[in-house]
Amino acid sequence: MNEGFVVYLFSRFHEQLGFEKVLKIGSTFPDCIALKDGKEVRIEFEIMPWYLKSHVKVATYSPVVYIVTETEREYLVTSRSGQSNWKVSYPKDQYTATIYPNGLAEINYKRLPLDYCVCWENRGTKRDYQEGIEIIELPRVPVIARFLLEREYLKPTYYVACASMKKPIPCEMSASIKGRIVEVRGIDGRLIYPKKNQQKELRQIKARLK
């Protein structure tokens, strides 16, 4: 899967995800502007939220061309060419600055100006720059999971809980399960077992898992 497929799924299912309208999708950061609950929200599409780190850097300034001055409230960038009317201000509550030994200055976001990250898979530890960003993992959304399974973009995967396990584990169809199966859920979270005709269905599930 790639980022383009994430964009396709969001475009197709954005209403089911709670977004009333897509206002813009492009290649510049952020990828998308949409309406949710009547308000404009900023969305970035990624395979995994980890890739958001590529957007943390705002700008890099060479000491040959620019002067970066730190004040109590901001980082102020001016030109060495004497153009007094050119300047850029970065408030400290939104940005950080790193000055390297060679004089190069790097401006980074403290927190990415995003509301949502729509992704295929969510793994790893949440970073400081992701603070306040809601992660939407598309294959975990039931309506999208059913679509992916029906179109065979995903293999049927079960979450199996046995009496000997402390927590459910993901399990492929061909896996061998030991112990008494007490709960089975599909990749979309839907309860497969137990329900009506439990014993008959349990035998069928065990047969598929052997």
Number of folded domains that form the chain: 3
On whether both 88 and 192 belong to a single domain, the answer is no
Cα separation, 172 vs 114, whole angstroms:
35
pLDDT value for 137: 93
CATH number of the domain within which 45 lies: 3.40.1350
On whether both 204 and 124 belong to a single domain, the answer is no
On whether both 131 and 172 belong to a single domain, the answer is no
Full domain range(s) for residue 140: 3-54+112-146
Cis peptide before 194 (omega within 30 of 0): yes
Instruction: Note whether 80 and 67 are within 8 A (CB).
Output: yes
Top pLDDT among 3 and 186 is at 3
Apex CA 184: angle with CA 123 and CA 119, to 5°? 25
Q: Which residues contact 23 (CB under 8 A, 6 or more apart)?
A: 33, 34, 35, 40
On whether both 47 and 141 belong to a single domain, the answer is yes
pLDDT value for 176: 47
Residue 35 has pLDDT above 80, yes or no: yes
On whether both 132 and 174 belong to a single domain, the answer is no
Residue 133 has pLDDT above 80, yes or no: yes
Instruction: Note whether 129 and 44 are within 8 A (CB).
Output: no
For residues 87-114, give the mean pLDDT: 94
pLDDT band at 126 (very low <50, low <70, confident <90, very high): confident
Cα separation, 35 vs 21, whole angstroms:
5
Residue 75 has pLDDT above 50, yes or no: yes
pLDDT value for 80: 86
Q: What does pTM read for this prediction?
A: 0.72
Query: pLDDT digits over 44-60, tens only?
Result: 999 999 999 999 999 99
